[in-house]
Amino acid sequence: MKSFTNWMGVLAALSLSATQAANQEIRAVFQPDPAKPGKNMFINVTPNSGYCADYPAQCADNNMFSIRAPLIFQSVRSLLPGDGVSIRMPSNWRPLVVTNRDTQETAIVEVRMTGVGSEYRLSDTASSLVGVTNPIEAHGLLWGSSWVYAPPPCQYAGMGLANSYTFRFFWKAPIEATCTKVTAYRIPSMAFSTLDFAYELRTPNPLTMSTGQYTGSIPYILGSGGHIDFGALMRPLDNNLTLDFVLDVQHTLKVDLPPGGNKVALEPEGGWQRWIASGTPPARIYRDQAFNISASAAFKVMMQCDSTQPSGPDCRLNGQSNSTWVYTKLSLPGGITGPDGAPVKDVPLMNNAWVGPFQPGHYVDRKSGNLRFEMPPDAIAYVLRPGVNDTLRGNITVIWDSEA
């Protein structure tokens, strides 16, 4: 819907001062969302100003954001009938590299500007330049049509705010080409007092990125022939705009054991009583310990034994007169894959050595996994030697480490 407001303020003269070259921060954050585990996207948290602050619904529908920067374009001479003001924006995707401040890992972000706006200011009232009283009508006659209507290939965005000297507008700029307004009357002097631009982002998959802040910048040259061009008749007072990107990755890795889950008793299938009653040695002695895991980034797992062996796939359990060895195997919930891209089922853990990485394909929130502690058959035969009675104990520590 067109928004068109008549401002009746009066400016005594066109007076614009120079500004500093502009730097604008663009900040986006990834935090796992338990309510939307499949949504692996950055959220742009940069405050909107300009068009999207005034028309948030339209921008939300188009995944668009906008910024109003204090950049001024001033006419180099009087504009004569038939002169054009031609605006071109960098509407094609441009890549930039962002770097993790701690790990120096890099990722690629892409940005494009898809809309442009400003407020032009005239040295004289529009009414005095064209000879009609109504300022809205005067602005339209001055250019043949109102600046609320975008010349192609730019597109109408429904914004026009006018007073006697000024007209604020905004156009969509879907392609990188000039959009020209032609004056029908002489204008002694004019300027554009701000640069409003809409932009879109393409961000990398945060699940492949380490935790931390990634930063990078992309420069834009203003002026005739530059990235942001208001035509040969309009000269910027400053020639540079730099977008400074900060991508904040906040991963989750959490493993929860049920109450009492830190104490594991190994038993044969069906319990010890069944084996004692049958008089035959059990085929298996083990215990499964379930846990819940929440993960949004790659992680690795290591086992540490309290026994003396420096490495290997087993840990010792010791008693007064006996000992045995136990393997620890890891199973993870669906949605997490191993280094080979396959589901993680009974993967042996290693003493003092990392196993992994294990990669979530989406945010996994409190899904069930399993640790299996099991004696191999030769260990069972050894520990159940006739005439040996003992209680075997040991500590096995499982360490989870986010690679992010």
Say which amino acid occupies 12.
A
To 10 degrees, the CA torsion angle through 396, 397, 403, 404? 150
Q: Report which secondary-structure segment, H or E, holds 236.
A: strand 234-236
Spell out the residues 6+ positions from residue 155 whose beta carbon is closer than 8 angstroms to its own: 171, 172, 173, 174
Domain boundary among 220, 249, 278: 249
Residues 281 and 310 in one domain: yes
To 10 degrees, the CA torsion angle through 301, 302, 305, 308? 170
Residues 354 and 222 in one domain: no
Residues 184 and 85 in one domain: yes
**Tell me, what CATH number does 297's domain have?**
2.60.40.1090
> What are the structure tokens assigned to 62, written together?
């188009």
Tally of structural domains, the chain: 2
Q: Tokens 């260990």 map to which residue?
A: 379
Residues 223 and 334 in one domain: no
Give the Cα-Cα-Cα angle 387, 390, 395 (nearest 5 degrees).
Answer: 145
pLDDT value at residue 6: 36
Q: Which residues pair with 290 in a beta bridge?
A: 370
Contact 291, 398 (CB under 8 A): no
Is the dihedral angle over the CA atoms 309, 310, 313, 317 positive or is it negative? positive
pLDDT value at residue 329: 95
Residues 398 and 272 in one domain: yes
Give the Cα-Cα-Cα angle 231, 232, 234 (nearest 5 degrees).
Answer: 70
pLDDT value at residue 14: 40
- pLDDT tens digits in sequence order for the chain, 404 residues long: 333 333 333 332 344 444 456 899 999 999 887 777 777 789 999 999 998 998 888 888 877 899 999 999 999 999 999 999 999 999 999 999 999 998 899 999 999 999 999 999 999 999 999 999 999 999 999 999 999 999 999 999 988 899 999 999 999 999 999 999 999 999 999 999 999 999 999 999 898 888 899 999 999 999 999 999 999 999 999 999 999 999 999 888 889 988 888 889 888 887 777 777 777 778 888 999 999 999 988 999 999 988 666 678 888 888 887 778 899 999 999 999 999 999 999 999 999 999 999 999 888 888 999 999 998 888 888 877 776 677 888 889 999 998 64
Distance CA 96, CA 245 (A): 9
Residues 227 and 309 in one domain: no
Residues 73 and 105 in one domain: yes
Residues 209 and 262 in one domain: no
pLDDT value at residue 343: 94
Residues 209 and 325 in one domain: no
Residues 118 and 65 in one domain: yes
> What are the structure tokens assigned to 292, written together?
């819940």
Residues 136 and 45 in one domain: yes
Residues 244 and 273 in one domain: no
Which domain covers residue 358, as residue numbers?
A: 253-402
pLDDT value at residue 190: 97
